[in-house]
Amino acid sequence: MKEINWSQFWSTFKKTYSIYLVLLALFIVCSFANPNFLSVNNLTNISTQLAVTTILAFGQTLLIISGMLDLSQGSVLALSGVFAVSAYKATGSFTVAIITGIMTGIVCNILNAVMVSTFKTPPFIATLAMLTMARGVALLFTKGQNILQLGDFTVLGQGSIGFVPIPVIFLIIFAVITWYILRHTKFGRSLFAVGGNEEAAVASGINVHKVKYTAFIINGIFVGMAGILFMSRVNAGLPNGAINYEFTALTAAIIGGTSFSGGIGSAGGTLAGAFIVGFLDNIMNLTNVDSYMQQIIRGAIIALAVIYDIRSKNRRTKSTLGRIEDKGSRRKGKGKGITESHK
Amino acid sequence: MKKTLLTMVSMLLVTGMLAGCGNSDKVNSANGGEKANSGDKVYKIAYIARAQSDSFAAWLANAVKEEAKKYPDIKLEVFDGQANDDKENSMIENAITNKFDLVIVQPNNGEAQRPYVEKVIKDGKFAITTNARITGIEGASSVDADPYEQAGVNARAALDQIPQNAKVVVLNGPSGNFHADKRRESWQKEFFDKRPDVQIVGEQIANWNKDEAMKYMEDWVQANDKIDAVISMNDNMAAGAVEAVKDNSKFDGMLAYGVDGTLEAFQLIKEGKMTSTCLQNAFELAEKLLDTSSKLLTGAEKQVDTDIGNPLITKDNVDEYIALLEKAEALK
């Protein structure tokens, strides 16, 4: 019988599940740090608060895996949200509001895709341009003023089905969609291929344009829906809302192990990353940690996550190189032996 | 591909130029269509807003534009500083180059704009600083609301309203912002120093935002069985905190204080969910700004420093102020 190599098992386990171990450890530490942390109310609260940024983070995950990113998420969210709110106020229909919000997200992201894929603009610059434009349109449309009195529209962001808040239900739906796309679809595999090595993806017959457009369109749907939930939750159409949310989303994705170099990432990792950030924010507020200190801690966590990402990638590259060299030398050895035996 | 790009760029340029023409039309119309006789002197005023994206700044800019229509000898143009010191400073420099007779600056950060306002004066033009004023520039005028007093009227009322040994939370504006700092200082001196029995159980910077304030409040509610009052440096954040507990009967009698006088705050005061706010009246600021401009340009005055009032809005007088804000909505 083959003996179990525990050290190898542990290293594989660590590589695959380390993010969940970190989340578990943090959960335990937080439970001891403040007795209120473990209350059902507080945990529901954290999940509701995280819904919007985590849905955005799923959008970022799809884009980062394929070697792109979206800096316009916060602005497009605000634009989708104020359009959806206005549509609801004008028609009183949830369907019209949701379609308006999602279509706004899609249109903005098609423009992002045009800039990135058709005109080959770096995603950083293209989406930065969209960040400014979308915010400008939201402000122009509302004349810089908040839209008030949303009436029943708040149900989406503040209501519950049973004891589960509606935003959390949306969070679960979007998590499953992202997981399914990445693990079980040809498009998901193409995302990894394009992000891993674009030229190789082209050579293997993948339609890179189509993959990039689709990734942005899916991101648009996510951002549009996040906008609707956000405005509904705060009970107002805020043209200035969700500033810097793209960075919170990027943080969740990166902490969750999505690699900025592309080709690596998962829905579960991003979800765990979002909850790590959420638990930290929550415990710092429960224990009344100073505002400035909170910023420092958040920054340090991102730095640690990125360092970990780079180190583990180097280790992986080294071990792959090691394996290749090892195989190479064995082949050489074999070759030598053959030659020698011929002698 | 290159042709497509070239066509797109040309189209953008043409659109930009057309938009520019549209703007100049707008400026004329804000002026009642250049009604002044060709022989009369028409004074050019540049109004440099802190950021058109800031809801109060946008209201003030609109109110200033409306007020300017009442002065046939004044032509006013509005520029957007985009909450960026560098951009706002360049706009002040441009106003000097373009020979505006008077420049009104709503600073993004008073100290950053100070040398540029001084340049306006040095160039022999008039300058007015507003919301917030930049103090101590010789020759420059100012029209403002006093942020210390705006918070002070609330804080003094709270002395009698907040119960003994109360637990309160504090929501602050961005650190380093003149109004945010002065309002917090006022609460400290006018309330907390006089009521050592009151305990602050949570204090955070929510950057004037409703969503951020809502999140902090949701967390504080978990950590504290009772919060007697929310002390917020603006109405947006107060509204966020109220939103977080609106369905929680444990917090039914909670007091909430803000500053600014937004329509949302007025509605909450009317419903009994907010206690009071202080109105920073953009119409009054606009009226005083144009009146001061006119006095300076016609030589009636050399320098003017004036403040608007700081009315405390409570359930008793909220209706008259709702009517005032409905007028502001109509301006949009």
Question: What is the per-residue DSSP string for A68-115?
Answer: ---TTHHHHHHHHHHHHHHHHHHH--HHHHHHHHHHHHHHHHHHHHII
Straight-line distance from the first to the last Cα atom of chain B, in angstroms, rounded to the nearest whole number: 42
CB pairs under 8 A between A and B: 91
CA distance B325 to A15: 59
Predicted confidence at residue B20, as pLDDT, reads 41
In this prediction, residue B25 carries a pLDDT of 35
User: What is the arithmetic mean of pLDDT over A294-307?
Assistant: 84
Taking contacts as CB-CB distances below 8 angstroms, the residues of chain B near A45 are: 218-219, 222
Q: Does the beta-carbon distance from A240 to B55 stay under 8 Å?
A: yes
Confidence at residue A320, expressed as pLDDT on a 0 to 100 scale = 56
Using a CB-CB distance cutoff of 8 angstroms, which residues of chain B are in contact with residue A288? 201-203, 223
Among chain B residues, the shortest Cα distance to A149 is held by B264
Q: Nearest by CB to B54, from A144, A241, A291: name it.
A: A144
Tell me which of B6 and B77 has the higher pLDDT. Answer: B77
H-helix or E-strand spanning residue A4: none
Q: Which of A36, A143, A233 sits opposite B222 (nearest CB)?
A: A36
What pLDDT is attached to residue B57? 84
Check CB contact under 8 Å for A240 and B54.
yes
Q: Which of A133, A136, A115, A134 is nearest to A68 (CA)?
A: A115
Other Cβ atoms within 10 Å of B47 Cβ, number: 26
**pLDDT mean across residues, chain B:** 85
* B76 vs A22 pLDDT, higher one: B76
Kindly determine whether residue B209 and residue A42, on different chains, have CB atoms separated by under 8 Å: no
Reported as a single tens digit per residue, the pLDDT across A304-326 is 877 876 777 676 666 656 665 66
Write out chain B residues lying below 8 Å of A233, CB-based: 211, 214
pLDDT band per the 50, 70, 90 thresholds, residue A337: very low
Using pLDDT thresholds of 50, 70 and 90, give the confidence band for residue B175. confident
- pLDDT digit string, tens, across residues B26-49: 333 344 334 444 457 889 999 999
| B239: Cα within 13 Å, side-chain hemisphere | 29
Chain A residues whose CB is inside 8 A of the B59 CB are 144-145
Query: Is pLDDT of B281 > 50?
Result: yes
Q: Which range in A168-182, B256-270, B306-320 is most confidently predicted, on average pLDDT?
A: A168-182
Distance CA B112, CA B134 (A): 10
- Rounded CA-CA distance B120/B101 in Å is 10
Whole-angstrom Cα distance, residue A12 to residue A6? 10
Q: Do B262 and A146 touch (CB under 8 A)?
A: yes
Average confidence (pLDDT) over B221-230: 93
Cα–Cα distance measured from residue B168 to residue B208, given in angstroms and rounded to the nearest whole number:
18
Q: In this model, does residue A330 exceed pLDDT 70? A: no
Q: Which of A309, A181, A336, A338 is nearest to A251 (CA)?
A: A309
Nearest-by-Cβ selection for B58 from A39, A145, A158 = A145
Choose among A34, A48, A292: nearest Cβ to B223: A34
Average pLDDT (B71-92) is 89
Backbone angles phi, psi at B307, to 5 degrees: -120, 155
- Residues A255, A273 contacting (CB under 8 angstroms): yes
Residue B222: which of A149, A240, A286 has the nearest Cβ?
A286
- In this prediction, residue B4 carries a pLDDT of 58
Q: What is the pLDDT of residues B288-300, one digit of tens each?
A: 999 999 999 999 8
Residue B2 in contact with partner chain A when CB distance is under 8 A: no
Give chain B as a 3 state SS string.
Answer: CHHHHHHHHHHHHHHHHHHHHHHHHHHHHHCCCCCCCCCCCCEEEEEEECCCCCHHHHHHHHHHHHHHCCCCCEEEEEEECCCCHHHHHHHHHHHHHCCCCEEEECCCCHHHHHHHHHHHHHCCCEEEEECCCCCCCCCCEEEECCHHHHHHHHHHHHHHHCCCCCEEEEEECCCCCHHHHHHHHHHHHHHHCCCCCCEEEEEEECCCCHHHHHHHHHHHHHHCCCCCEEEECCHHHHHHHHHHCCCCHHHCCCEEECCECCHHHHHHHHCCCCCEEEECCHHHHHHHHHHHHHHHHCCCCCCCEEECCCCEECCCCHHHHHHHHHHHHHHC
Residues of chain B found within 8 Å of residue A148, distances taken between Cβ atoms: 263-264, 267
Query: Which residues of chain B does A239 touch, with a Cβ-Cβ cutoff of 8 Å?
Result: 53
Residues B292 and B329: their CA atoms lie apart, in Å, by 25
Q: What is the pLDDT of residue A248?
A: 92
Q: Do A241 and B172 touch (CB under 8 A)?
A: no
Q: List pLDDT tens digits, range B177-219.
A: 778 999 999 999 999 999 999 999 999 999 888 999 999 999 9
Q: Report the chain A residue with the minimal C-alpha distance to residue B223.
A: A286
Specify the pLDDT at position B3: 57
Q: Which residue from A49, A139, A145 is facing B215, i.e. has the nearest CB?
A: A49
Q: How many CA atoms lie within 13 A of B136 on its CB side?
A: 4
Provide the token pair at B203: 């204090």
Contact A45 B264 (CB under 8 A): no
How far apart are the CA of A50 and the nearest CA of chain B, in angstroms?
10
Inform me whether the C-beta atom of residue B82 falls under 8 Å from chain A C-beta atoms.
no
- Enter the tokens of residue A78: 């605000």
Which of the residue ranges A212-226, B255-269, B304-318 has the most confident prediction, judged by mean pLDDT? A212-226
Quote the minimal CA–CA distance from B205 to chain A in Å.
6
Nearest CB to A148 within list B5, B57, B263: B263
B247 and A288 in contact by Cβ < 8 A? no
Whether B219 sits inside 8 A of A239 (CB atoms) is: no
Per-residue model confidence as pLDDT tens digits over A157-204: 999 998 899 999 999 999 999 999 999 999 999 999 999 999 999 999
- Indicate the SS3 state at residue A290: coil
Question: pLDDT class for A2, splitting at 50, 70, 90?
Answer: low
- Residue to substitute from A233, A291, A297, interface B, most B β-carbons within 10 A: A291
Q: Are the beta carbons of B44 and B31 closer than 8 angstroms?
A: no
pLDDT single digits (tens) A41-81: 899 989 999 999 999 999 999 999 999 999 999 999 999 99
Residue A1 has pLDDT above 60, yes or no: no
Mean pLDDT of the B106-114 span: 86
User: Which of A56, A288, A294 should we substitute to test contact with B (largest number of B Cβ atoms within 10 Å)?
Assistant: A288
- Tell me the average pLDDT across A94-114: 97
Beta pairing class for A160-161 and A164-165 = antiparallel
**A156: Cβ–Cβ under 8 A, 6 or more apart, which residues?**
A94, A166, A167, A228, A229, A232
The pair of structure tokens assigned to B28 is 């004329």
- Any idea which of A123-127, A329-333, B76-80, B258-262 has the lowest mean pLDDT? A329-333
Chain A residues touching B239 at Cβ < 8 A: 236
CB B279 within 8 A of CB B259: no
pLDDT at B36: 44
pLDDT at B188: 97
DSSP A165: E
- Name the 3-class secondary structure at A121: coil
pLDDT reported for residue A327:
59
Q: Searching chain A, which residue's CA lies closest to the CA of residue B51? A: A144
- B83 in A contact zone (CB under 8 Å): no
**Rounded distance, CA A30 to CA A12, Å?**
27
ipTM greater than cut 0.90: no
What is the per-residue pLDDT across A17-47, written as a single tens digit (0 to 9) for each?
788 888 898 999 999 998 889 999 899 989 9
Q: What residue has token string 């109220």?
A: B242
B5 touches chain A (CB under 8 A): yes
Give this prediction's pTM: 0.79
How many Cβ atoms are within 10 Å of A194's Cβ, its own excluded? Answer: 24
pLDDT at B22 over 60: no
Question: CA–CA distance from A62 to each of A121, A186, A247, A303 (Å)?
Answer: 19, 13, 15, 22
